[in-house]
Amino acid sequence: MRISSGFYSIRQGLKNIRRNILFSLASIGTIVSCLFLFGVFYCVIVNFRTGMKDLENTVVISVFFKEDVTDQNINLIGEQIRLRDEVNTIYFKSADEAWEEYAKDRYGDRYEEAIASFAGDNPLKYSASYEITLKDLSKQADFVSYLKGLTGVRSVNTSEVTADGIAALNSVVGYASAGIIVILLLVSVFLISNTITIGISVRKEEIAIMKLIGATNFFVRAPFIVEGIVIGLVGSLIPLVLIYYLYDNVTKYVIGRFKVVSQLFAFVPSHDIFAVLIPASAIIGIGLGLIGSIITTRKHLKV
């Protein structure tokens, strides 16, 4: 395409938007609504998954050793565990640490007296363990089976109910969010398609004359493709501004109003959110406009 043809397509595309301003605004409004909800869902999901990840780190798998196992074998077991892709963190808790922790829970402020009363004879001398957290709790069952098969391992303690509940909740939220977003995107494509269909109807005679004098299909379609891209781009920029101020103000309000929330839960910084949301919204908006215009022009430009 020559430069002059490109400028012509851009001008005609912008004229189409002005000619059908009400339908163009309806399409932009739908994309704004779609991407605004997409952005809100994304903010919620990112913070939810961050919270779930913090919660997953509290689900600890404890590996205890047989009484006759040597320190060398314990180190070997630790090395084998560290090589597993599922492992997020691994910490070795000695028998002395286990006894001190138990004493604190059982005797409170008097735990030092309780420890001293045993005169260095640790009643939990076989309670050394590895404490492990996983990157993905849905893989816990297979990982626990692996741990139980290691030589020198006496028992493996974990909370299957908690792990299964967190994994199930993650799956439900993921599927529900994906379904809602797909529906919103399809509605946006439909409205953009209707807007471009009206533009084609208004210019049907002009398009027929252009094709009779030798205009190519791409030359005829280009203005409508420009129209769809502009509608999609404008529709993607507006919700980003709205979500930025909304997210910033809501997080500041919650942190300032509810101190306990900030202690239990850390919001994802806005720059981390928008580092993904800005390009994703732009791509989705332009993609919606492009797909809607291509589908419509292929269907209706048979003149």
Q: What structural domains does the chain harbor?
A: 3-55+165-300 (no CATH), 60-158 (3.30.70.3040)
Angle between helices 3-19 and 160-202 (to 10 degrees): 100
CA distances from 300 to 21, 209, 221, 231, 244 (A): 20, 16, 10, 19, 39
pLDDT value at position 151?
A: 87
Alpha carbon of residue 40 to chain centroid: 11
Cα 40 from Cα 62, distance rounded (Å): 38
Determine the residue type at 154: R
Mean pLDDT by 10 residues, the chain (303 residues): 61 69 75 80 81 75 87 90 89 84 73 67 80 83 88 84 70 76 73 63 63 69 78 85 87 75 72 86 80 68 55
Q: Are 30 and 187 in contact (CB under 8 A)?
A: yes
User: Could you give the C-alpha distances from 51 to 42, 215, 264, in angstroms and in order?
Assistant: 14, 57, 9
Report residue 182 as tokens.
Answer: 């797909």
- The predicted pLDDT at position 69 comes to 85
* β-bridge partners, 90: 132
Strand partners, 93: 129
> Counting beta carbons within 10 angstroms of the beta carbon of residue 61, is it exposed (0 to 12), middle (13 to 18) or buried (19 or more)?
buried
Hey, CA dihedral for 103, 105, 107, 110, is it positive or negative? positive
- pLDDT score at 197: 66
At 291, list the tokens. Answer: 């797909």
Would you give the distance in Å from CA 301 to the centre of its chain?
39
Single-letter code of the amino acid located at 60: V
